[in-house]
Amino acid sequence: MKNKTDNDKAMSIKSMEALSADLVKIESLISTAVRLVEEGRVVDLAALQERTKQVCDAAVQLPAKDAKPLIPTMESLLKQLDTLTENLTKRYGDLPILSSQVGSNTAASVYGRTLKHFP
């Protein structure tokens, strides 16, 4: 019979593996978003933003020693987010300019959410 510590370790490993898999999926979503922006297509970032926040929040909750193996994947994710941000800025410029096209409330909301995650 396994003791509680063994069960905790097994759960931690499972959580870390699930987080790692989720990070890889998010990287793929970001790569797709980068490609779509480069093609001049509109990208809905709301789902990507929410999923990224959930996974990163979960990773932060892991003990440091358990989260350490996730660092390279998270660094890669940050680089891809930087690339996406650069491409969006090149494509659309400063987001407040979008207020004339999508309404000031929508543009302000998008801009505010972006600043929260990309200070």
Q: pLDDT band at 118, cuts 50/70/90?
A: very low
> The whole model's pTM is what?
0.64
How far out from the chain centre does Cα 104 lie?
25
Structure tokens at 29: 């979503």
pLDDT of res. 93? 75
Q: Which residues contact 12 (CB under 8 A, 6 or more apart)?
A: 62, 63, 66
